[in-house]
């Protein structure tokens, strides 16, 4: 591997930002950042205090107790139904082993298949709904019904119009089909076609890809960037290229599946620290530095910290300045996944790095996706030129995957130019400011013409199922008011109002001064 890309020598950090022996200075440890700047009339320190004062109220103890009891009852009925199916008293729609394979190791009889067969199928109509319009602030749904308890669906021919979209990651509203700026995407489609049919290393390296990578690097303020056609693979296929056997990965317990898969594929040792818990992380770092590898006690080849900018399931933000200070102190490396924060967080949309005024140089590997704020697909890795050059030759995604389609690259370019103001308008920064200002459940929400994403086991722990709302700059105040009113109604209907805190006064939520940003 290139010596300057990722090696535990930490050569990339400037002396002015560290004390002797590579340790951070007092100011760096205190603030975790190298630049002191203000925006919106608030200092970086104020932003840090604000974000770390957030808390997540736990429901009363009877809520998880009743949840476990409910799952227990449904599970008992599931075993009863499986017994009836085994004797042919109830038809089984699920996948089964063939009779000649009955003595084989079962492929379909694990617990998750049991859960899907007996629990998930009862509520499957809440997912995978067919959409027949652009996923903007509102969309249209194809109505479907089931006659066999959601094992199969049939379409009624009716379209549910103008459902308020609170489920898409269209944070800045660039997933659209109107506007003159889309002409460049149409022109790219006519000129290049919709597919490349080759990898970047062969015949798939187009001028659009080079232009896009240059623009991404400029946007992030780093030396170089590399783009990939799939956001998930950006993590899962690049982490194994950076670390391997003899390396240590320290991963936040709530990291995305793509980060977890990439860590497992790498062959490195993985240790998990509590979510956003600096004491837990520092304990693991100290132990790794003092004791080294198990049995041999040799120093780890690399220590890589994996975190996300915003954890989409929890809505929490990484404590980036403190983690940067820790990684400097223990000479580790930091891999930051900004899939949900790039474009939507920070005064100009440059993610949590900008939000905390952290120097991009202090983050060794910057990762993000184009599937959220940019209304496209794919992802990027950015950082030092040595890092990017190394990945061009060793990344599985770069060597074996097809290149990003040219129209997708052009869509990202137009979105980036709009955010950066390179298109000669202020539309992009206005959308960034707008998203900053907007800060049997699913079935009833759909009846109210509101589309949301509900998430449950196995994507979450059994007692932590949730509904996830994604705000977009394209949402109007009237749409958000409608959603809030319906949520208030649903909370009463389903008895979901567990909070013991004093309720906010509704007029204060709409104080215009709270939403305006200073220029």
Going residue by residue through the chain, which has 519 residues, state the pLDDT in tens, using 9 for 90 and above: 443 445 443 333 333 333 333 333 333 333 333 333 443 334 444 444 444 555 667 778 888 898 889 889 999 999 999 899 888 888 888 777 777 777 777 776 666 678 888 888 888 888 888 999 998 888 899 999 999 889 999 999 999 999 988 888 888 889 888 877 789 999 999 999 999 999 998 999 999 999 999 999 999 999 999 999 999 999 999 999 999 999 999 999 999 999 999 999 999 999 999 999 999 999 999 999 999 999 999 999 999 999 999 998 887 899 999 999 999 999 999 999 999 999 989 999 999 999 999 999 999 999 999 999 999 999 999 999 999 999 999 999 989 999 999 999 999 999 999 999 999 889 999 888 877 654 366 667 767 888 777 666 555 665 666 777 877 878 888 888 888 888 888 778 777 777 777 665 544 444 444 444 333
Q: Look at the chain and report how many structural domains it folds into.
A: 4
First to last CA, the chain: 45
Are residue 238 and residue 164 in the same domain, yes or no?
Answer: no
Q: Tell me how far apart the alpha carbons of residues 357 and 364 are, in angstroms, rounded to a whole number.
A: 16
Are residue 366 and residue 354 in the same domain, yes or no?
Answer: yes
Q: Is residue 391 part of a domain?
A: yes
Q: Is residue 506 part of a domain?
A: no
Q: Is residue 19 part of a domain?
A: no
Q: Is residue 513 part of a domain?
A: no
Q: Is residue 37 part of a domain?
A: no
Are residue 145 and residue 219 in the same domain, yes or no?
Answer: no
Are residue 481 and residue 344 in the same domain, yes or no?
Answer: no
Are residue 351 and residue 404 in the same domain, yes or no?
Answer: yes
Q: Is residue 477 part of a domain?
A: yes
Q: Tell me how far apart the alpha carbons of residues 462 and 136 are, in angstroms, rounded to a whole number.
A: 31
Q: Are the C-beta atoms of 382 and 225 separated by less than 8 Å?
A: yes
Which residues constitute the domain of residue 441?
426-494
Q: Is residue 4 part of a domain?
A: no
Are residue 264 and residue 354 in the same domain, yes or no?
Answer: yes
Are residue 322 and residue 359 in the same domain, yes or no?
Answer: yes
Is 39 strand, coil or helix? Answer: strand
Are residue 294 and residue 354 in the same domain, yes or no?
Answer: yes
Are residue 145 and residue 261 in the same domain, yes or no?
Answer: no
CA torsion, ordered 452, 457, 462, 467, to nearest 10 deg: -10
Are residue 369 and residue 436 in the same domain, yes or no?
Answer: no
Q: Tell me how far apart the alpha carbons of residues 456 and 93 are, in angstroms, rounded to a whole number.
A: 22
Number of C-beta neighbours around residue 513 at 10 A: 5
* Whether the bond into 152 is cis, omega within 30 of 0: no
What CATH code is carried by the domain that includes residue 414?
Answer: 3.40.640.10
**DSSP classification of residue 199:** B
Are residue 158 and residue 193 in the same domain, yes or no?
Answer: no
Are residue 253 and residue 370 in the same domain, yes or no?
Answer: yes
Specify which residues 57 forms β-bridges with: none
Angle, helix 406-420 to helix 207-220, in steps of 10 degrees: 30
Burial class (CB in 10 A: 0-12, 13-18, 19+), 402: middle
């Amino acid at each position: 591997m290139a010596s300057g890309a990722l090696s535990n020598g930490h050569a990339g950090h400037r002396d002015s930002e560290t004390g002797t022996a590579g340790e951070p200075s007092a100011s760096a440890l205190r603030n975790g950042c190298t630049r002191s700047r203000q925006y919106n009339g608030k200092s970086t320190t104020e932003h840090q205090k604000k974000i770390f004062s957030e808390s997540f109220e736990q429901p009363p103890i009877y809520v998880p107790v009743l949840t476990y009891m409910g799952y227990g009852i449904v599970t008992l009925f599931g075993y009863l139904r499986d017994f009836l199916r085994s004797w042919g008293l109830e038809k089984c729609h699920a996948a089964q082993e063939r009779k000649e394979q009955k003595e084989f190791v079962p492929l379909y009889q694990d617990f998750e298949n049991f859960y899907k067969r007996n629990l998930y199928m009862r509520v499957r109509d809440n997912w995978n709904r067919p959409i027949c319009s652009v996923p903007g602030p509102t969309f249209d749904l194809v109505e479907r019904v089931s006659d066999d308890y959601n094992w199969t669906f049939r379409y009624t021919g009716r379209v549910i119009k103008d459902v308020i979209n609170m489920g898409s990651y269209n944070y800045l509203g660039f997933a659209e089909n109107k506007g003159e700026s889309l002409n460049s995407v149409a022109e790219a489609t006519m000129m290049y076609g919709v597919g490349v049919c080759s990898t970047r290393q062969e015949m798939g390296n187009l001028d659009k890809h080079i232009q896009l990578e240059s623009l991404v690097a400029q946007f992030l303020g780093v030396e170089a960037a590399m783009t990939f056609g799939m956001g998930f693979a950006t993590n899962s296929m690049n982490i194994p290229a950076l670390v391997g056997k003899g390396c240590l990965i320290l991963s936040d317990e709530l990291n995305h599946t793509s980060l977890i898969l990439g860590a497992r594929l790498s062959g490195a040792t993985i240790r998990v620290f509590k979510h956003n818990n600096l004491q837990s992380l520092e304990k693991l770092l100290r132990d790794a530095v003092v004791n080294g590898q198990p049995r041999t006690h040799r120093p780890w080849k690399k220590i890589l910290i994996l975190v996300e900018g915003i954890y989409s399931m929890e809505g929490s933000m990484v404590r980036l300045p403190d983690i940067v200070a820790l990684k400097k102190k223990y000479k580790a490396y930091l891999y930051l996944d900004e899939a949900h924060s790039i474009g939507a967080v920070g005064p100009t949309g440059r993610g949590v790095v900008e939000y905390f005024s952290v120097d991009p140089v202090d983050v060794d590997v910057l990762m993000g996706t184009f599937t959220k704020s940019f209304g496209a697909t794919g992802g990027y890795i950015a950082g030092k030129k040595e890092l990017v050059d190394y990945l061009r030759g060793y990344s599985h995604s770069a060597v074996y995957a097809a290149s990003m389609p040219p129209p997708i690259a052009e869509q990202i370019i137009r979105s980036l130019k709009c955010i950066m103001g390179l298109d000669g308008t202020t539309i992009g920064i206005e959308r960034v400011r707008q998203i900053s200002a907007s800060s049997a459940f699913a079935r009833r929400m759909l009846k109210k013409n509101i589309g949301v994403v509900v998430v449950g086991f196995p994507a979450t722990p059994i007692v932590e199922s949730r509904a996830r709302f994604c705000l977009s700059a394209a949402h109007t105040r009237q749409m958000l008011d409608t959603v809030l009113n319906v949520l208030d109604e649903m909370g009463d209907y389903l008895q979901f109002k567990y909070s013991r805190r004093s309720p906010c006064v509704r007029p204060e939520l709409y104080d215009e001064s709270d939403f305006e940003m200073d220029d």
